[in-house]
A and B are shown apart, each in its own frame.
Chain A
């Protein structure tokens, strides 16, 4: 049986609402790409409309509205922790003794399936000493540069921050 192009979960009214919310975002993106010049809008407008259409096909709707505070907290957390991650690995790389004690640990995810998990896995890979290696059912295998008891705590902390970003209770 052929899949319908648009899933049936949403009414057309909702779709229109999401399209109108996303339109200014894609317009802003285009404006940045053409560096604010006016000439780019002639072919920009069809491209923007196409991008809105594709985004509605690929990501029909957010399940919950994104809480603003969660977003702010996530961005701050991410910038600070990824800076720490870079400094940590840089110091290990230039240290003549090469302080590495790697291990592969299993982490049971509390987040539900979907985009929140993908954001979590990408975030983990940029934080100090952790790299998302494999996801099987609800278990995420994480490669760590330095096996220590704090790793579990920091993984739980990342998961909480990502849950807040998506407005999910875990």
Chain B
């Protein structure tokens, strides 16, 4: 493997770690609000790292821009979706988990 392949591998593995941690948070965190933190923030970083890793592998640099665009759109939708879910939960009167 060349140096680029190694760097790509490191970025992809780091990205996968953040997806793993985000999923762990989704399962372990006590209520919907905390779970939203885990999903939006960890997955955002995970996808960003995977995007960088894949950008190093493209042979047409327009494709690199397309990957960046995909990351940006996912960012926008996940932040919006997280707000909408938190907002619906709050308006629906779902109580917050607090440390006992």
CB nearest to A83 among chain B residues: B45
Verify if B75 is at the interface (C-beta below 8 Å from A): yes
Tell me what chain B mostly uses at the interface: helix, strand, loop, or mixed: helix
In contact, B98 and A133 (Cβ under 8 angstroms): no
CB distance from A24 to the nearest CB of B (A): 15
Query: Is residue A61 contacting chain B, with contact meaning CB distance below 8 A?
Result: no
**Does A1 touch B at the CB level, under 8 Å?**
no
Q: How far is the CA of A82 from the CA of B44 in the complex (A)?
A: 8
Could you tell me if A141 and B90 are in contact, using CB atoms closer than 8 angstroms? Answer: yes
A33: contacting residue among B44, B66, B80, B98, CB under 8 A: B66
Residue B13, interface by CB 8 Å:
no
> Whole-angstrom distance from the CB of A158 to the nearest CB of chain B?
13
Query: In the bound complex, how far is the Cα of B36 from the Cα of A149, in angstroms?
Result: 22
Q: Give the complex CA separation of A131 and B38 in angstroms.
A: 10
Complex CA gap A129/B82 in Å reads: 13
CA distance A31 to B97 in the complex (A): 47
Q: Number of A interface residues at 8 Å Cβ cutoff, please give it.
A: 38
How many residues of B are in contact with the other chain, CB < 8 A? 42
A115 part of interface (Cβ distance < 8 Å): no
Known pairs A86-B18, A90-B18; A122 contacts B41 (CB<8 A): no
CB A162 to nearest CB in B, in angstroms, measures 13
**Interface positions of B (Cβ within 8 A of A):** 17-18, 21-22, 24-25, 28-31, 33-34, 36-38, 40-42, 44-46, 48, 60, 62-63, 65-66, 69, 75-76, 79-80, 82-83, 86-87, 90-91, 96-99
Cβ-closest 8 pairs across A and B:
A86-B45, A93-B25, A90-B21, A122-B79, A36-B62, A133-B86, A85-B41, A93-B24
Residues of A whose CB lies within 8 Å of any CB of B are 29, 31-33, 35-36, 82-83, 85-94, 98, 100-104, 121-123, 125-126, 128-129, 131-134, 141, 143, 145
